[in-house]
Amino acid sequence: MKAKHILVTVLVSAVTALSSVFLYAKLNKSNSVAQSQGQLPVNYAGLFDGGGTPGPVDFEAAANSTVAGVVHIKTKTNPTQTNNTKRRSPFGDIFGDEFFDDFFGGPQSNRPQMASGSGVFISADGYIVTNNHVVDGADEVTVTLHNKKQYKAKVIATDANTDLAVVKIEGSGFPYLLYGNSDEVKLGQWVLAVGYPLTLETTVTAGIVSAKYRFLGINQRKAGRNANVVESFIQTDAAVNQGNSGGALVNTSGQLIGINAAIASPTGTYAGYSYAIPVNIVKKVVDDLIKFGTVQRAFLGIRPEANADENTDSQIKEGDGVVVGEVMSNSAAEDAGLKKGDKIIKLDNKTVATWYELTGTVASYRPGQKINVTYLRNGKEGTAVLTLKNSSGNTEIVKTSAIDRLGADLSTLDAKKAKEYGVEGGVVVQALSDGLIAEQTTIKKGFIIVRAGGKAVKSVDDLKKAIDNAGNSIIIEGIYPGYEGVYQYAINDLRNEP
């Protein structure tokens, strides 16, 4: 009985082995026939559904064609030195006048501040794009090329809302990068980050696109609470560190698809994620800065719907489109007939799922340009053609005025407060951002301007007229409520003249 069992087992094993060989030969023949007929063999789990075994990605050509177009930017900010004058404080004998100088930011001097970042040539005649925060407040800008040649650079214009800036060096025949199309960037796509991190020479790192249309809120902190910031970052896992800011994010063809601007890190050094400004926003902003000196920002004229329990932009409903919460008067949206409750799902046939995707797309347009909007209303799809407008509700070219260059949120002093402070009127500095005041003075939030250019200032309009009638500089005078003394500050470069 035992021998019989052994014999059956042997026979079963033999039949199984012969069957396996037969089936393998048949499958192999079938695949050979399929290949000879131009068909793909069957593969488990669809590993090669794309058309064959994927080959290795080669970064060599993209890296070598890119490094010459990326530069090292070094900045120097001179010691802050103000010539503010004030009446002696009645508390000076107790605390010393230096106490109040420190509190209010009186005359002071410190060492020059040095910093560095990266930049990208965008033309053969020396125009370079970088981040605003790389050159912000710099008194000297030096550009070092990949071949170690150095040039003094001039800051042409900056935009804190997008954290972009344009600088220029004199010369011609510089190697520049070609623009790609950031709208065509795909998740999982290989990219290279090129720049000068941590004071190193030209450095190239590789990663993939891990997300698009990211909002971090970093531009809001820099540009000011009331600024119309644009953030729609490309997120990658290419290693980026301090010094990479303003450098290039390129695809494997060597095309510029973004300007590296930020990292997400609890330590200040690379921790896995980096962020780049999409090139479709970059090229429009750069063109504006070069042509007009300021960004020609286009608006749809809507505010998004927020969650019922929160009325803040950080609680915007996100998902499969942008629900219109409010249509602004005299706006492109109002002219085109958009209504509250409409859900915008496409812009120029490009799907938009979130508010930051929508604002990022609109940021690549100028006032006066037309855009097709696809929306849902009561479950039905509709389309409208909008002529985009600027923040003033028209399509005219916006020029930066001298008062805008101060970099301050200003308001007319309330009449009751003026009487309380013992002044006839004034202008309150509500908040400060990038601008001449922050760069050249030690004025603090809450300062009240009462005179400018030797004339009394009782309103924002008065201040604007005084600045418009001034030359390239002006003396402003004011007070800090609750403290004795009239403080004077000299502000230069009102006309951005050399």
Q: Among all residues, which ones are annotated catalytic?
A: 133, 163, 245
- β partners of residue 75: 115, 141
What the block records as the tokens of 12 is 């079963």
The three-class DSSP label of residue 129 is strand
CA 470: distance to chain centroid? 33
CB atoms within 10 A of CB 83: 10
- Whole-angstrom CA distances from 380 to 341, 373, 376 are 12, 14, 5
Cβ contact 367:390 at 8 Å? yes
SS3 133: helix
Taking every pair of Cα atoms in the chain, the longest distance, rounded to a whole number of angstroms, is 122
CA distance 254 to 214: 23
Q: Beta 370-377 vs 350-351: how paired, if at all?
A: unpaired
Report the C-alpha gap between 366 and 285 in whole angstroms.
Answer: 10
List CB contacts of 19: < 8 A, sequence separation 6 or more.
Answer: none
Could you tell me whether strands 487-491 and 474-479 are parallel, antiparallel, or unpaired per DSSP bridges?
antiparallel
Coil vs helix vs strand at 26: helix
State how far the Cα of 65 lies from the Cα of 181, in Å rounded to an integer.
18
Phi, psi of 131 (to 5 degrees): -85, 145
Note whether 108 and 81 are within 8 A (CB): yes
Closest CA to 335 of 298, 392, 389, 376: 389
> What's the CA gap between 358 and 386, in Å, rounded?
14
- Work out whether strand 455-456 and strand 140-144 pair parallel, antiparallel, or are unpaired: unpaired
Express the helix, strand and coil content of the chain in percent, nearest 5 each: 25, 30, 45
